[in-house]
Amino acid sequence: MTDTEIKKGLAGVVADYTAISKVNPDTNSLLYRGYPVQELAASLPFESVAYLLWNGELPTDAQLAAFTDHERSNRALSPDVKTALDVLPVDCHPMDSVRTAVSILGAQHPQSEDSSPEAEMEKATTLFAQLPAVVAYEQRRRTAGGPTEPVPPREDLDYAQNFLWMTFGEEADPAVVDAFRVSMVLYAEHSFNASTFTARVITSTLSDLHSAVTGAIGALKGSLHGGANEAVMHTFDEIGIRPDESQDQAKDRAKAWMQDALAQKKKVMGFGHRVYKHGDSRVPTMKKALDAMIEHFGRHEILGLYNGLEQAMDEAKAIKPNLDYPAGPTYHLMGFDTELFTPLFIAARVTGWTAHIMEQRASNSLIRPLSAYNGPDERHVPGA
Ligand SMILES: CC(=O)SCCNC(=O)CCNC(=O)[C@H](O)C(C)(C)COP(=O)(O)OP(=O)(O)OC[C@H]1O[C@@H](n2cnc3c(N)ncnc32)[C@H](O)[C@@H]1OP(=O)(O)O
Ligand SMILES: O=C([O-])CC(=O)C(=O)O
């Protein structure tokens, strides 16, 4: 086999059909089940988008009411999960904590080994409902410096409102809720990205849903994928966030930082994409949400840093930001610890992952590519 036949990173390989989303780099568009993501993000609750991804259609009012009733009644942090999280080091990465929690939820689920469509939908829905409690508790445990009391969920709040309530213990301002809701919708689904493909590979062996999600979390953690939203904030921190500084001063420092980083051939997280080469379809919508948070909190120096990095990268390499770039500072302004940013991505992407798990299972073929061997020629153990 020659090198030219090898598709390193599976770049450009079309591995299967999917009816869940369409990423089109030529038109810079993203459709969930045919709907432009910008239209979904404009006003729909995240619950409707989850329903759409799983069922293929937006819910009627009655369907949404039944779905949200079920979701709201499954929001509490499982006591066993709390016990398990409490023995983890308080400074362990919260991606590890959430991965552990999903594993426990799988082992405890009464339908863990049932992969019928009904059981898969039930497991996807309860996981969707329970992840905010896990992520919120991890934020609170870190803030408290150890085991603490979770904030009980509220059934009178929608998904986004309740997520922020459980995290911060107070009702969030509607502007913050809306920016958070938008981020969840934009993060929900993106065809055969690395974590979703991981979930599909695991499902293809006829393994269970929670195993597939646990594996997907591992794939999401890396900074070339979901971990980039955390890494973006580390970049901002390295440049230095100075709330007293003007937007222009911040921009100049950010530009200088980027020029230096690129001169050293560094990869700057939050920029570039395997599929989009002229900008990520979701960035303009997420940037609007970031702008709203910058206005809301009066933090214009963040915009200076944002614009400085973006402009210097564009001038030097014409590489555009991806979704993680505006999402990172948005979550920072909302008050989340930087290490919690990728767990927030999990809470959103669990909808897309589980939709793909169900799609893979419905039309399965074991995913098992070939490799080209380039190790030593056959040789023999002395005396064998
Ligand atoms: C939600 C998400 O998961 S979106 C992706 C989040 N990930 C990141 O933000 C990590 C930073 N970005 C990257 O590493 C890459 O752009 C990837 C992995 C996302 C896509 O990479 P690929 O399609 O494999 O492109 P590849 O990494 O080969 O880059 C092509 C060229 O652009 C450069 N490049 C791409 N992204 C960046 C970047 N963020 N910073 C600096 N240079 C970059 C590469 O160095 C390479 O240059 P070269 O040809 O001179 O060697
Ligand atoms: O599609 C990708 O490769 C990465 C990405 O943007 C996502 O998963 O949202």
- The DSSP bridge partners found for residue 29 are 24
In the chain, where are the structural domains located?
A: 228-334
Distance 281 CA to ligand 1 centre (A): 16
Distance of alpha carbon 92 from alpha carbon 84, whole angstroms: 13
Closest ligand relative to 198 C-alpha? 2
Assigned token pair, 237: 């921190």
Residue 197 CA: distances (Å) to CA of 213, 262, 280, 355: 11, 31, 19, 12
Residue having the nearest C-alpha atom to atom 49 of ligand 1: 317
Could you tell which of 22, 197, 225 is best to mutate to test the pocket of ligand 2, judged by most ligand atoms within 8 Å of the CB? Answer: 225
Displacement of CA 330 from its chain's centroid (Å): 14
Closest ligand relative to 191 C-alpha? 2
**Closest C-alpha among 192, 189, 199 to residue 219:** 199
pLDDT mean values, one per 10 residues, the chain (384 residues)? 79 97 94 98 97 98 98 98 98 98 97 97 98 98 98 98 98 98 98 98 98 98 98 98 94 98 98 95 98 97 97 98 98 98 99 98 98 97 95
Query: For this structure, is 225 an active site residue?
Result: yes
Distance of alpha carbon 70 from alpha carbon 314, whole angstroms: 46
Class of the domain covering 228-334: mainly alpha
Distance 192 CA to ligand 2 centre (A): 8
* Ligand 1 surroundings by CB, under 6 angstroms: 9, 224-226, 228, 267-274, 319, 322-324
* Reported pTM: 0.97
What is the predicted pLDDT for the residue at 298?
95
CB contact set of 179 (below 8 Å; sequence gap of 6+): 289, 290, 292, 293, 330, 334
* Ligand 2 surroundings by CB, under 6 angstroms: 190, 193, 273-275, 322-323
The DSSP result for 223-287, as a single string, is TTTTTHHHHHHHHHHHH---TTS-HHHHHHHHHHHHHHHHHTT---TTB--SS-SS--TTHHHHH
What is the predicted pLDDT for the residue at 2?
54
Choice among 109, 190, 210, 225 that is catalytic: 225
Asked whether this complex has an ipTM greater than 0.90, the answer is: yes
User: What is the atom index within ligand 1 of the atom nearest the CA of 323?
Assistant: 1
Distance 190 CA to ligand 2 centre (A): 6
User: What is the atom index within ligand 1 of the atom nearest the CA of 325?
Assistant: 9
Could you tell which of 185, 322, 324 is best to mutate to test the pocket of ligand 1, judged by most ligand atoms within 8 Å of the CB? Answer: 322
Closest ligand relative to 281 C-alpha? 2
